[in-house]
Structure 1
Amino acid sequence: MILGVGTDLANIERMERTLARFGDRFRNRVFTRAEQAKAEGRANVAGTYAKRWAAKEACSKALGTGLRMGIAWKDMSVANLATGQPVMHLTGWAAERLAAMTPPGHEAVVHVSLTDDHPWAQAFVVIEARPVAPPPA
């Protein structure tokens, strides 16, 4: 069953200006060290940050809160599997909110999709509840 859906669109040029103006102060407030390392190692640094920004916004919407009620930016982080597939990791209040909205007997799975086409970066997040298989008899 679907527990939440969120999407967000971010402007890459705006992200470039924000990074130029606020630098590490902005990076350290919004992005985990792993996210920063990923972005700084890419050819399109601002695009990578913009996609992750959009993913955090989309995830907060899928959680049904937006960026309020105690969710911190770094409570949601985007990593990539070896295949390149993006994955969302939740900690802190975001993880607590996810647990609270997950029905008993289910596990939550957060799906994330990222894309960009200059000057836009977009993220789409779907939170799914999957039934947990009962232990074999």
Structure 2
Amino acid sequence: MIVGLGSDLCNIERIQSSLDRFGDRFLQRSFTETERAKAKRRPFTAAGTLAKRFAAKEAFSKAVGTGFKRGVYMKDIGVVNAPSGAPTLELTNGAKARLDELTPDGHRMLVHLTLTDDHPWAQAFVILEALPE
């Protein structure tokens, strides 16, 4: 059963402007260590890499129905790759707690994430699916 759906469109140039203006402060506040390391390995497309992840965080916050409040913060939502290579989310603290609140008894939550970019836009969709255990 679908429990939540979220999408976001992020301007890559806006992310580059934030990097230029705020630098490490923006990176530390908004992204996990894993996300920062991935962007660092892609110096020519770092802003696009980060913009997709920024969009994923926004899409998740919409899917759980809170936005970035009620304990759901950007750094608690990390984009990682499953063993298959597909992107997914690693959740901690308030983001994980909110997902747990939404999970019906006797179910486990599956997070579907898709990312794309075509300069100057990055886009993410999140679907939260509750599966019977």
Same-fold call, TM cutoff 0.5: yes
Range class of TM-score, shorter chain: over 0.9
4+ aligned runs moved over 6 Å, structure 1 = none
Counterparts of 1:37 and 1:84, CA distance in 2: 17
Q: What are the Cα deviations for residues 53-102 of structure 1, in whole angstroms up to 9, with x where unaligned?
A: 00000000001111111211111000123543101011101111111111
Alignment of 1:26-65 (within 5 A): 26-42=26-42, 43-65=44-66
Farther off after superposition, 3-12 or 75-84: 75-84
Counterparts of 1:48 and 1:82, CA distance in 2: 19
Counterparts of 1:122 and 1:91, CA distance in 2: 23
> TM-score, normalized by length of structure 2?
0.96
Cα RMSD over matched residues? 0.9
Counterparts of 1:19 and 1:83, CA distance in 2: 30
Q: Give the 3-state SS of the residue equivalent to 2:23 in structure 1.
A: helix
Alignment coverage as a number of residue pairs: 132
Alignment of 1:1-137 (within 5 A): 1-42=1-42, 43-132=44-133
Counterparts of 1:101 and 1:79, CA distance in 2: 22
Q: Give the 3-state SS of the residue equivalent to 1:29 in structure 2.
A: helix
Q: Give the 3-state SS of the residue equivalent to 1:89 in structure 2.
A: strand
Amino acid at match of 2:36: Q
Identity of aligned residues (%): 57
Q: Which of 1 and 2 has greater Rg?
A: 1
Amino acid at match of 1:36: R
> TM-score, normalized by length of structure 1?
0.93
